[in-house]
Amino acid sequence: MTAEVRRNTLPVRNPRTGEIDYHITPPTADEVAAITARQREAQKDWAAAPIEHRAAVLRKWAEEIDKNRKAIVKAESTDTGRYRIPSEGPDGVIWSIRGWADSAPEIVKKAMLEGTSSTVPHVRYRSQLKPYPLLGVISPWNFPMMLSAIDAVPALMAGSAAIIKPSEVTPRFVEPLMETIQKVPELAKVLTYVVGGGETGQAVIDNVDIVCFTGSVATGRKVAEACARRFIPVFLELGGKDPVIVTENADVDRAADAVLRGSVYATGQICYSIERVYVQEKIHDAFVDKLVKKAEQIELNYPDIHNGHIGPFIFAKQAGIVDEQIDDAVKHGAQVRTGGKSQNLGGGLYMRPTVLTGVTHDMKVMRDETFGPVIPVIKYQTKDDAVKLANDTEFGLSGAVIAGSEEEALELGQQIDAGGISLQDTTLTISILRDAEKTSFNLSGMGGSRMGPASILRFFRKKALMTNTKPPSDMRNIRELPAA
Ligand code: NAD
């Protein structure tokens, strides 16, 4: 891909240097149609094989990912300008494969219902689960490899084929990852990646039977509309504006640790980052003091990628969006307690953890998704006020409560309208990947749960086969009734 730069290529910016040092060549719409036609043919044998066989093939893929770990990490590290998170990326996918390989057979078996009708006792029924032949995945740039595979792995286990179009902002990891897929020929027939931007995403939608999209609300809306026109199911995992409530009984030090990590980990480029902080007025000042002190100890990983805590913005435009939100807040009376606007260091765009006070819900920083290391803090009086503020949003992805006890946190957590609520900490969502289910509220998403057993069951059409154990009713005996 790098050697020859053809006319229809897309440039890729390096987030640490600001330079264009990579290009991708998207397939044409016809090429996407041809790739998916071949996948559809291969999917028939894939789905006909026992689930245990698919699990074994996917386990081989996990081994190949492990073997090619160095190249994958290097590519994703260049994609994202950070090292620690990409170095854990292969493990995330390997664990997902091995976890689903262990649990999927039992989940699918449990979903196969069989019995006697509760309303017509002489009718027996049994389920058939038929995988959607071809899944299209469209994924974002913040966790390139992990988010490209998170839905594809359970879908493949279910018996679907999958075509994945990751973000054009971070496509370098595709080359080394495709090498691992090619090493498992049976898998290569049903799993592939295509690189490109929105047009390629559109071509994928035009050729698949079901779509999993992770990205922004604006694109999610377009994707949902395109899927509705084709009458195919779509699962949307979108943005958030996640709140945390810190009660007066909370341990201030612990709360500041949890809020800081939840807001600035990965430079705040996580869908379920903490982006709004509500603190009871009695502890507000002590909390802000601690938060500022801790935030000032966070170091940029510049100039050495292997040092410090947070990296550059991956997507250059994001720095501008975050700067504009800070400007808007300051213009309307907010105070910057530490941090501030983005800075260009060696061509990369970096931002120090930025704590804001004096913010209100009229400001962009409290309404729009930030996706940067910004921590706006508001003080509240009563718990009812805190819940009202937390729910005053267009989003509903996740949230958190830090209180004096788990019971106190739980009581408030149950009142927050969002899919994943962390108690006594923040951003715990990923820990329940294959365990508990969650769905988003409002603009944060649509469709079934990506987490827990429901995740794999999304990829099946559910059929019911019914048998009458008695002779069929005779139509001649089904007469109209006389007037009552
Ligand atoms: P984006 O919406 O700009 O792009 C996402 C993907 O959609 C990319 O692959 C892009 O090429 C593709 N795309 C663009 N236009 C398209 C079109 N018309 N048809 C089909 N595909 C199209 O999002 P992004 O900037 O890459 O990612 C950041 C966003 O993702 C944030 O809003 C973040 O909150 C969200 N996100 C959500 C989750 C979650 O699980 N809820 C996880 C990570 C990121």
CATH number of 10-238+440-466: 3.40.605.10
- Ligand 1 atom, smallest distance to 450 CA: 40
Confirm if 294 and 394 have CB atoms less than 8 A apart. no
Report residue 59 as tokens: 């386990």
Which residue intervals of 332-382 are DSSP H helices? 364-367
Is residue 2's pLDDT more than 90?
Answer: no
d(CA 123, CA 116): 6
Torsion of CA 326, 331, 335, 336, to 10 degrees: 30
- Say how far apart CA 429 and CA 402 lie, in whole Å: 15
Confidence check: pLDDT of 180 > 70: yes
Residue nearest to atom 30 of ligand 1 (CA): 215
Q: Is 237 a catalytic residue?
A: yes
192 pLDDT more than 70? yes
Q: Give pLDDT tens digits for 92-146.
A: 999 999 999 999 999 999 999 999 999 999 999 999 999 999 999 999 999 999 9
Q: Is the CB of 219 under 6 A from ligand 1?
A: yes
d(CA 127, CA 460): 11
- Average the pLDDT over 23-38 and give the result: 97
Cβ of 202 below 6 Å from ligand 1 = yes
Ligand 1 centre from 223 Cα, in Å?
A: 10
Domain ranges of the chain: 10-238+440-466, 242-432
Residue 5 has pLDDT above 70, yes or no: no
Q: Is the CB of 142 under 6 A from ligand 1?
A: yes
Residue 140 CA to ligand 1 center (angstroms) comes to 4
The percentage of the chain sitting over the pLDDT mark of 90, rounded to a whole number, equals 97
Mean pLDDT (the chain) is 96
Is 164's C-beta closer than 6 angstroms to any atom of ligand 1?
A: no
Span from the CA of 138 to the centroid of ligand 1 (angstroms): 7
Instruction: Look at residue 297 and tell me whether its pLDDT is greater than 80.
Output: yes
Q: Enter the pTM of the model.
A: 0.96
Average pLDDT over residues 264-273: 97
Q: Does the beta carbon of 36 lie inside 6 Å of ligand 1?
A: no
Decide: residue 375, CB within 10 A, 0-12 exposed, 13-18 middle, 19+ buried: buried
Q: Which is the catalytic residue, given 168, 237, 369, 408?
A: 237
**What is the tens place of the pLDDT at every residue in 365-412?**
999 999 999 999 999 999 999 999 999 999 999 999 999 999 999 999
Q: Which residue has the tokens 């706006």?
A: 376
Q: How far is the CA of 166 from the centre of ligand 1 (A)?
A: 9
Confidence of residue 6 (pLDDT cuts 50, 70, 90): very low
In this predicted structure, the answer to whether residue 163 has a pLDDT above a threshold of 60 is yes
Evaluate if residue 274 carries a pLDDT over 50.
Answer: yes
* pLDDT band for position 7 (cuts 50, 70, 90): low
Closest Cα to atom 14 of ligand 1: 198
Q: Which CATH architecture has domain 242-432?
A: 3-Layer(aba) Sandwich (3.40)
Q: What is the 3-state secondary structure (H, E, C) of 8-37?
A: CCEEEECCCCCCEEEEECCCCHHHHHHHHH
Give the tens place of pLDDT for each residue, 431-477: 888 889 999 999 999 999 999 999 999 999 999 999 999 999 999 99
